[in-house]
Chain A
Amino acid sequence: MEGRDPTMKITKPEELQQHPEYKEVLVELLFQLADDDFILSYRGSEWLGLAPHIEEDIAFSSINQDTMGHAAMYYQLLEDIGIGKADDLAHQRPSSERRNAVLLEEVNGPGHYLSEPRYDWAFAVVRHYFYTQAKKVRIDSLKHSSYEPLAQVAVKINMELYYHLMHWRTWFIQLTNAQGEARERMKKAVAKVFEDFGGVLTLGVKGDRMVEFGLIESEKILKQRWVQAMKPVFAEVNLDLPSEFGMKRGNGRNGEHTADLDEAIMTLSEVYRLDPLATW
């Protein structure tokens, strides 16, 4: 066992060779961060051309690009550590090796992105908003991570998150405060998202070690901050904020996933798999 030194900082990937346990836990955290952004950005990209209006199509697409860019930065950190090439990590790993929250892999709604999509905008708004707030809490904590290359990435990501959060909060409040069908749809979407939201907030089985190594703050603290941030918004839309969140369809941090993820991986790697060794 390595001793815990709260002031310890790792500044370069090469230093990890002396800290095998630290490295193992760091890799776990980086996969969670990378896989979360990667799969949600993929789901967002399926919405292309289908958003409620053209202006939103442009804004949403811009957010998806940023999010894919964040995933690429995390995969690059993994590549720098020697885990594998970023593109291979993103495209090649089977669902059992993925660490994203199950909520983020769920399909956008009935239908396929090219044929008869009946996507649910209420679900899109709630999932993106709640996730983005959780991401903001996480990024704020990662800015002080003991792994300095990660802390630097967190500072970069944080700048873009401000706009994402504002975007989704605006949609959430507007639609939930609208009367009639919109409010009903939003309430249903909130209930649906909460069923699996516990999976977004957890750090998985290695969570305690992540905290010990000063990589990120504890699950409990992060969750409290999320609740604190959401409280005034829930008051504004006159909805109850639960204190516990479910993991109805499993804990993605442990590699538990649904068929939705398998299908997504098949699609997003379709061209890559034609020849993983070729230059594309």
Chain B
Amino acid sequence: MPVVTSFRWLSEEEKYERFMERINAGEKIEADDWMPEDYRMTLIKLIAMHGISEIMGALPEKEWVPKAPSLRRKLGIMAKVQDEMGHGQLLLRVAEDLMAPLGKTREEIMQDLFKGDLKFHNVFHMPAPTWADAGLIGWLVDGAAIITQTNMLDASYGPYARALKRICAEEVFHAQHGESIILALAEGTKEQKEMLQDALNRWWEALLMFFGPGSAATTGTSKQDITIKYRIRTKTNEQLRQDFFTKYVPRILSIGLKLPDETMHFDESKGKWVYKQPDWNRFKEIIRNNGPKSKERLRLRELSYHNNAWVREALSGQSAAV
């Protein structure tokens, strides 16, 4: 008991020491607990980016929701994209709690997105010009997301870990939804097969980039070290990319698709996949909102935000009057 009551009298260093003891003991940190500034800031950045990526991620698939080729596919993709928005909402709520002591709200998250200060995942800057892209996003982008998110399921920050558990459960359905679209195309007509191979060729580099650069040396910055120190994640970017290859390369080949990288092979002696590096300079450009669809999608988001300003005003007036 005395330990608890005296915590507020500890020096900052002692508080930090206690905090690290909890982290190393595998304890969960909760929203109201004391936490060092860089832990809070790292989490805000990570979770806001994750949340906003889910929301921006709805936009490439949005194109295909009204166009899905059957009633069953229409229902499937509607449910899938709705889940993504739901994940976005769940994560923004987690980020909002972390931002509250700083006097910040969701409004700041949206403004940061519009200003370009808050990034979203590289994959959602890419075009999705065919129905096969819609399937591929579900299958491989969500498949990649499952791998990175599973890596954080035991994150030291409790609210994030719990949100991820729910999200991962749904992502498994998404990957199945995507796989079902992909299998229909892979077993379909010549045109359908070509459409599928084109989509894979188009998405390959973005999928490799999805896991982030191997080290800070590649792009100048990396959050890997701090997130591992604070037990937010366990594996490095490269380990995750290797896991992705191990899981998906055999599946890609088994449905008759060709890998867009001819140099790719598994090096038995090193126990690693050898592959052609994506263009990391291009990656930097993409996440700076200079990707092929960055401006267009931000424009959609921003336009709807301004277009509906009168609704938010009406709602806030309402709550003030109550």
Contact = CB atoms under 8 A, between A and B. Distances in A.
Interface of A: 42, 45-46, 48-55, 57-58, 61-62, 64-65, 68-69, 71-72, 75, 86-87, 90-91, 113-119, 121, 174-175, 177-182, 185, 267-268, 270-272, 274-275, 278-280
Given A65-B75, A178-B318, A179-B317, A49 B303 contact: no
- Among B66, B82, B131, B188, find the residue whose CB has the most chain A CB atoms closer than 10 A: B66
A181 B318 contact: no
Given A114-B62, A271-B67, A278-B188, A182 B307 contact: no
17 contacts: A45-B65, A46-B66, A49-B304, A53-B312, A58-B86, A68-B75, A87-B70, A113-B62, A114-B63, A174-B315, A178-B314, A267-B66, A268-B67, A271-B64, A271-B69, A275-B191, A278-B189
Contacts of A87: 70-71
Contact of A48 (B62, B296, B308, B311): B62
A175 B317 CA distance: 10
Given A114-B62, A116-B299, 17 more contacts: A49-B62, A50-B308, A51-B304, A58-B89, A65-B75, A71-B71, A113-B62, A118-B303, A174-B318, A178-B315, A178-B317, A182-B313, A270-B67, A275-B189, A275-B192, A278-B188, A279-B187
Given A54-B88, A178-B318, A279-B188, A49 B75 contact: no
Given A49-B62, A61-B81, A280 B131 contact: yes
A47 to B, nearest CB: 9
Contacts of A118: 303, 307
A52 B67 contact: no
A116 B303 contact: yes
Q: Which 9 pairs between the two chains have the least Cβ-Cβ distance?
A: A182-B314, A178-B314, A280-B69, A61-B82, A52-B308, A271-B69, A52-B311, A50-B304, A272-B69
Interface string B55-88: 1001100111111111111110011011001101
Given A52-B308, A61-B82, A65-B79, A181 B69 contact: no
Given A61-B81, A113-B62, A272 B70 contact: yes
A271 B68 contact: yes
Interface of B: 55, 58-59, 62-75, 78-79, 81-82, 85-86, 88-89, 92, 131, 181, 184-185, 187-189, 191-192, 296, 299-301, 303-304, 307-308, 310-315, 317-318
B92 to A, nearest CB: 7
B283 to A, nearest CB: 25
A50 B70 CA distance: 24
B71 A72 contact: yes
Contacts of A117: 300, 303-304, 307
Contact of A49 (B85, B181, B187, B311): B85
Contacts of A58: 82, 85-86, 89
A186 to B, nearest CB: 9
Contacts of B66: 42, 45-46, 113, 267-268
B175 to A, nearest CB: 19
Given A49-B300, A54-B85, A64 B192 contact: no
A175 B86 CA distance: 24
- Among B55, B185, B191, B310, find the residue whose CB has the most chain A CB atoms closer than 10 A: B310
Contacts of B301: 49
Contact of B71 (A46, A68, A114, A279): A68
Contacts of B75: 65, 68-69, 72
Contacts of A90: 71
A207 B58 CA distance: 42
- Among B63, B299, B308, find the residue whose CB has the most chain A CB atoms closer than 10 A: B308
Contact of B78 (A65, A91, A181): A65
Nearest to A69: B75
- Among B58, B65, B86, B188, find the residue whose CB has the most chain A CB atoms closer than 10 A: B65
B89 A280 contact: no
